[in-house]
Structures are given as C-alpha cells and as structure tokens.
Amino acid sequence: MYAKFFKRFFDFFLSLFALLVLSPILILLTVIGAIVMKGNPFFTQYRPGKKDKSGKEKIFKLIKYRTMTNEKDTYGKLLPDDIRLNRYGKFLRSTSLDELPELLNIIKGDMAIIGPRPQLVRDMIFMTEEQRHRHDVRPGLSGLAQINGRNNILWEKKFEYDNKYIDDGITLAGDLCILFATIAKVFKSSDIARDGTVSDTDFGDYLLQKGEINNNDYAIGQSEAESIIKNMMV
C-alpha cells in the first residue's frame, strides 16, 4: 500500500517542504557556485529512471550543483577529474550539498527520496537484466547501497543492495531507517568516493578492467549509450 500509493505523496510534499525551508541555502550556493565555477553553477546529466509500461527505462535529466570546473588543456580536452575538482567542489561532495537540487527531480516525479541511486546511462548499458531490476522503481536521493558503503563497495554488491531494497518490500519504516542512516553518513562524510579515486569508476570500465568484457563489447556499449543520449537531445 505504501509503495504503490503513499510513497509518491510523501516524496512530493516532503521534498517541496525541504525546498522551501532550504531555499536560503540553495540561493547562497547558487551564487557562490556561479562565482567559483565561473559560470553555470549547475550540472545536469541524463540518467536512467523507472521503467515505463514498455519495460524501458525512462531517461531523465538529473540536476546537481557543479563540483568540477570546465578547465581544458591546450587541445580543448577536459583536464583530469582530480585537477578540476577544486576545494569548493570537495566541500560540496563531503557534505552532500551538491545533491540538493535533486529535490526538483523528486518533485517532478523523476526520483524518490529513497530508492536505488540513478547511475549513468553508460552504466545501465552494461547491466544484466537482473541488475536492471533496480529500475522497476524510481531512483532515489539515497538508498540501501548508500548506507552500506556508498561508492566504496563493489559494483555487484551495490546492485545487490538496490534489488534487495525492492525485493524485501518497500515500507515507510524501511525508508525512514535509510533516511536517518543517510543523515548520519553525511555528517561522517564517509564513503564519498572509492579509495584511491576522486570519483567512482564507471561500470563498463570496471568490467573491462576485470576482463568480463572485451574492448569490442566496451566500444559497442559506449556507442549505444551515446546514441540514447543523442536521441534525448533531439
């Protein structure tokens, strides 16, 4: 009953309330971000959401605060992540303040407060059908995987937690437990990135490094992901 009828109701009104209460902080971060990032303080990216009636994931545009600059080398190529991630960006990530604009995604209906975190389109392409079971529900601002290691656990384990959240039954009590555990994680600033990295490794790159796919499979998957995104931009 909760998952089918009341969850969306609570998500909408709680997110709207949070947006109103946090509006002074959002305005301040928007202004500071525009100055520090020398331009648009927001970062948008296409992500796979809940499957539609045809069984295909709905692709939506996720919005966050930008944590990396757009600095490029002499050839016009973006510099490595560790160079573009400045002190302000690290602060946003460590406090999870960069995620606040996703409240708009929740209000719009693309996301929920609690659910599997929305991964990249190029991650989705390399998922198995079982792993894509995670897309049977709306992606969340936080989820079971986030309170059990976040970005510092294996991809396979992350997907297991996502599916466990769905298969064990989505309840109000369960969502509240995840929400409070998330708040504790934020204050501890733990598991923000995989050890030894500033950002998590893409799922396709991870599979390629493990030898579970070859270079040809990798190239085909990347091309398919780019095609999906291009179609969204038309």
- Which of these, 99, 76, 114, lies nearest to 26 by C-alpha position? 99
Summarize pLDDT for 83-118 with one digit per residue, the tens. 889 999 999 998 999 999 999 999 999 999 999 999
Q: Report the sign of the C-alpha dihedral through residues 12, 145, 130, 48, in that order.
A: positive
Q: Confidence band (pLDDT; 50, 70, 90) for 194?
A: low
Bridge partners for 46 per DSSP? 61
Question: 3-17, 146-160, 215-229 — which is least confidently predicted?
Answer: 146-160
| Selection from 96, 66, 67 nearest residue 186 by Cα | 96
> Using CA atoms, how far apart are residues 38 and 47, in angstroms rounded to an integer?
25
DSSP state, 147?
Answer: G
Higher pLDDT, 76 or 215: 215
Name the nearest CA neighbour of 161 among 181, 131, 191, 182. 131
Question: What's the rounded Cα separation, in Å, for the pair 32 and 141?
Answer: 23
How far is the C-alpha of 234 from the C-alpha of 231, rounded, in Å? 5
Percent of the chain having pLDDT more than 90?
Answer: 80
pLDDT number for residue 78? 84
Neighbours of 55 (CB within 10 A): 9
In this prediction, residue 182 carries a pLDDT of 93
Mean predicted confidence (pLDDT) in 3-12: 95
Q: Are strands 140-142 and 57-65 parallel, antiparallel or unpaired?
A: unpaired
Report if pTM > 0.75.
Answer: yes
Where do runs of H (alpha helix) occur along the chain?
Answer: 7-21, 23-36, 81-84, 87-95, 102-108, 121-124, 155-167, 172-188, 203-210, 215-233
The amino acid sitting at 113 is I
Q: Hey, which residues does 85 pair with through a beta bridge?
A: 68
Q: Give the pLDDT confidence score for residue 77 in this predicted structure.
A: 85
